[in-house]
Amino acid sequence: MRFFRPAFVLALLTSVLPWRCLGVVDYPGGVWEEDFATFQVLEPPHYGPGWYLYVGQGSTGEGPVYRAASLDASLSVTGGSLRTYARGHDHLMALVLRNTAERAIESFTLSYAGEQWTLTGAQPGDFLAVGYRVSSSFSAPEQISSRTPGTTVASEFIDMPALRFDAPRFGLTWMNIDGKLDGNRELLSATVNRINWQPGEYLILRWANFNQDGDAMTEQGLGIADIRFSGTLVSSVLTVGTTGQGTVERVPDKAFYAIGEPVELTAVPGRWHAFAQWTDGDLSNPRVVTVEGNATYTAAFEPTEPLETLELGGVTRLAPVGMPAVFVNNAFVPEGPVEHRGSVTVALQTTLPGGTLLYTLDGTDPAVSARLYDVPFEVSRNATVRAVAYDAAFSQAVQTDPIEVRVLPTLHAFTRGGGSVFVDPPAGSYGPEQSAVVTAVPDEGWEFLYWFGDVPMDQTETHQVVLTMTSSLCLEAVFGTGFSTGVIGSGEIHQSPAGDLYPYGTVVRLCAVPASGDAFARWGNAAAGTANPLEFVVDQPGQTVTAIFATLTDNRKSLVVLPLGAGSVLMEPAGNAFARGTRVTLTPVPAPGQVFTGWDDPTEAVSPLVITIGESRVIPAHFTQRPRLQFDDCRPIRSGGPLRLRIEGAPWETDVRLQSSVELQDWSLVDSAITRHGRAQISDWREFAPATRYYRLGP
């Protein structure tokens, strides 16, 4: 099997270092071979994959100096051999392999054929010295010295005597020798063990043509051929185990080890345990073992105090006897943190007979300052639960580990109708500083009007908002639609409130007022019946309500009661037209929190009002229309956030002012707002020391 770098990889590497042979060979395991019979000699600056060639150029105080060489007259590939021609100087040929296997390599076998091709001069004596080294990094400078540190192709090689090729000695004249003949060729092989060649590291194999006793007139031509390399992957497995509670750490920690490799083992006891010994009797900790093959080492740990095992709801915990157990929403939580969206219920228990439990929620020591636990309690914000259990005699105390409870923000986005609200992500964790995109999409025939709730003031009319979830948020999308009226016959419709667009669910009061000589008969189109006035709910897009009037017959008169404000009038008997002389009782019924203020005619300022039908009449009834102040159900009262109040039932597009007091005497302005379709919201962000605050709508 041969492993070669693709030509385009070589081109990239050689463009950076043009004077050296380039192309480190990846070695994924198996057999790597090179017989130079099909070796591709590329034009400079390409010299072949994995080979680095150097030629000597004299000596200095640091020893022989070499410069990078190319395949030329001194170094060539011909006849299936990589050849050197030395004339008074040495040559280095280095093959660089990179371990790309999944494991380390603990040994390798290298074989090659040493060959002699040329001899001239009187003092032959050249030989090829073969050596190797493993390096975590690789560099091949253009000029090196055999004594220069860090030059991976020059110094610190381990000699392989079994692979040394000594050139045969021939006559004293120039000879052209065929290195493929048996007499000029020697097959050499050697195995190296315990090299610990890790993945990603480099193995450098070097052939050095050293001229031992020749001179400047001596030229020896030596070559190498039929190279075969195979490595053995590390297969030794070191297994660690424990008895009791604890772990064993290995340095280095890996799946396989080389024979002879040292490994440090450290026994780390678990909580409430101590290291006792290794099961082979060794008491040292840590200890260093030498890998000699597959082996197992077990550390023994023993408890330092009485322990118990609790199994609750499928969760198991080993801890000191009586240690409080913490439950969050009925789930046993032996360790934190635990996250839940919205508030949670926390419960505690202990196995100490007649035990007493104390706890804190801010991470402080419960043995110093704490609350007495009696029943499960609610946690609505982030908390660190710590608890201590005492036995019946208060002679024994044991604390639980702190349990961090993270109450994640909630996002409640809704609409009363007329469209849909979409949240992205629809059910994310909404941790601090995370964002959610909320989009209001109207149904056909409806329009998006605005947002109520936790929306920045400058985005209340934007159909899509991006909310940073630093706390729980709630918002309502309001959709509106048009509404129209029509008449058949002679008359008109009084409409309250009057507007172009009505939010979903708006109650519109329609009062049909006939012309002289006519009476209201019934409602048509989107409404039906004869009730007048009519409380019509806008819950469909683009509806039309028609009032139908009819001509009065002889001796009958029309009677219409027109409520103005928040109230209605009970008519007895009920009807829209009556015979002359009929007595009708009108009883005003104010809406909750409102007051009847009188009839339009001050001479009829009685309640109830009894009239005798004589002529057709329209009688206005006046009621107050005081806005209703209520807590916003979208943001309930809770500590750590603003108090928001909702104003409902106010006249459209009017100014409302919210005031507060702590003793019902001195009132201060909180804020003001302009109602939208009779609704508004005001938030009180202030913090007060008193626990009780009062609010009212002021003038």
pLDDT (tens digit per residue) in 95-120: 999 999 988 898 999 999 999 887 76
61 assigned to some structural domain: yes
CA-CA distance, 410 to 474, in Å (whole number)?
Answer: 8
1 assigned to some structural domain: no
Looking at per-residue pLDDT, the higher value among 619 and 430 belongs to 619
Closest C-alpha among 410, 474, 468, 409 to residue 435: 468
Q: Where are the beta strands (DSSP E) in 489-542?
A: 491-496, 501-503, 507-514, 518-525, 534-537
151 assigned to some structural domain: yes
In the predicted structure, residue 332 carries a pLDDT above the cut 90:
yes
DSSP state letter for 401: P
| Domain end residue (candidates: 361, 391, 408) | 408
Same domain, 84 and 164: yes
Same domain, 599 and 671: no
Closest C-alpha among 62, 64, 52 to residue 204: 52
What pLDDT score was predicted for residue 12? Answer: 26
Q: Which residue has the tokens 């005003």?
A: 588
**Mean pLDDT, residues 255-277 taken together:** 92
Looking at per-residue pLDDT, the higher value among 2 and 175 belongs to 175
In the predicted structure, residue 610 carries a pLDDT above the cut 60:
yes
What pLDDT score was predicted for residue 134? Answer: 93
Same domain, 427 and 562: no
How many domains does the chain contain in total?
6
Looking at per-residue pLDDT, the higher value among 18 and 432 belongs to 432
Same domain, 269 and 166: no
Sheet holding 246-251, edge to edge: 246-251, 262-269, 287-290
Contacts of 654 (CB under 8 A, 6+ apart): 674, 675
| Domain end residue (candidates: 606, 623, 640) | 623
Contact in structure between 654 and 677 (CB atoms under 8 Å): no
Same domain, 141 and 255: no
Q: Which helix (H) or strand (E) holds 426?
A: none
2 assigned to some structural domain: no
Closest C-alpha among 533, 531, 532, 543 to residue 506: 543
| Domain end residue (candidates: 247, 271, 303) | 303
565 assigned to some structural domain: yes
Q: Looking at residue 223, which CATH number applies to its domain?
A: 2.60.120
pLDDT digits (tens, 9 = 90+) for 566-595: 999 999 999 999 999 999 999 999 999 899
Residues in the chain: 699
Neighbours of 511 (CB within 10 A): 21
Range(s) of the domain holding residue 277: 238-303
Same domain, 404 and 418: no
**Mean pLDDT, residues 193-220 taken together:** 78
- Six token digits for residue 594: 């409102």
What pLDDT score was predicted for residue 3? Answer: 38
Looking at per-residue pLDDT, the higher value among 212 and 417 belongs to 417
Same domain, 77 and 160: yes
Same domain, 464 and 503: no
Sheet holding 238-243, edge to edge: 238-243, 295-303, 273-278
pLDDT digits (tens, 9 = 90+) for 482-499: 999 999 999 999 999 988
Same domain, 400 and 497: no
Q: Give the model's confidence band at 683: pLDDT under 50 very low, under 70 low, under 90 confident, else very high.
A: confident
Same domain, 292 and 312: no
Same domain, 460 and 525: no
What pLDDT score was predicted for residue 580? Answer: 93
CA-CA distance, 71 to 75, in Å (whole number)?
Answer: 5
Q: Give the model's confidence band at 548: pLDDT under 50 very low, under 70 low, under 90 confident, else very high.
A: very high
Same domain, 23 and 83: yes
Q: Which residue has the tokens 């890998």?
A: 291
Q: Which residues pair with 36 in a beta bridge?
A: none
